[in-house]
Structure 1
Amino acid sequence: MGRGKKRRKVKQKLKRKSGKLVRFCLSNSSKKYSGFSNKFCYQTNIHNLIYKDAIFDNVKFQNSNITECNLKNTKLTGVDFYNSNLKKSKFENAKLKDVIFFNCNLKNTDFKNTKFENVFFISTNFDYCKNLNKEEIIIIKEYPKIDNQSLINAILELSKFTKLYKSNVLHVKKNKINNWNISILYSKYSHDLIRALKALKNRKDKRNFITLYSYKKFIESYLKI
């Protein structure tokens, strides 16, 4: 390993220890990767990588490029793709559960024989992707309104906690909630959502709240659903 590469690795390690996000960039590798879990990937830039048979659990890709990647037979549970480019990537025979595609580029993305369970396509143009069975997905185009002030207040209280705020699942800004995600949660849990979010505020362990799926797991555990 050269000196320059060693220095970069040391800098990345120091950034991770200080809580800063480290961008991952890699392309044209012949190695087969196994996936990962409990990770917030910001501005990840990967191209032509092999994730065949990989497992992803509770992962969020934000403002990322995931192009021409082989995701055949992968299992994705609780994965959020936000403002990301998945052009020409292949999800053939993949199993997607509790996955969100928000404002994504899906041009020539292949969903041949992909199995969907509770998968949302939000503000995403899927006209140019391949083999997508629209009957198996949930499509949201219109911006939802949240008028419940008690709910809004409970969410804004959580923005004080960095571990909950930094992944922007419930919040867009410190003083603005994420209406898209909140509407999904509220339609499922109704007023019990407020009770669960207040319990989350008092919870000591606030790690790994990275995706909408991670919040759903906590809410259902708390409500004993």
Structure 2
Amino acid sequence: MMITLTNVSKQYKGHELFHDMNVSFGPGKIYGITGINGSGKSVLFKMLCGFVFPDAGTIAVDGQALTGKHRFPKDFGILIERPGYIGQLDGFTNLKELARIQNKIDDAAIRRAMEQVGLAPNLTQKVKHYSLGMKQKLGIAQAIMENQQVLLLDEPFNALDTDSVERIRTLLVQYKEQGRTIFLTSHHQQDIDLLCDEVYQIQAARLEKVR
């Protein structure tokens, strides 16, 4: 998918995060988005998936502007900030409830996504008793379980152990090789250096390509 931002500006709580931004992103690449805390990384992701609108300008996915009835683009997998779950249910059941929204996948696809991120599908433990790392894996699983072609991953490696980080890194590289478009933020420069084909920095209300 081609994602194009044209003359995009956005303020948040009276602070200008983006001013007259023009940039395009294509398939088969991992894009690193960097910037200090509060620079607008999460807001950028929310604009890309239609959660919030820019104050000015247009965001388009494959030529279709995100507006009105076309507000939410298809085939987007999203992990932004901390996803919420039903604490009394186990991980598989939580994902199954989410899958019912679009009814695109079966139980086998849910189990496969859980296994890909290192979660046991048959684990009966309630999500409210999950560790932070397990909750993070569950968040990644919901972002990939429907074979989404665009992934917006805001700090996906938070709370993951070393083996889990390597597992997710390998998975993302595989997805890139399949032609998917991946956006990634991380507080760890190593994640950006190892994974990203292009890196953009948010600074002075601009999104500047730095690599």
Both proteins in one fold, TM over 0.5: no
The structure that is strand-richer by fraction is: 2
Q: Which structure would you say has the larger Rg?
A: 1
TM, length-normalised to structure 1: 0.28
TM-score under structure 2 length normalisation:
0.29
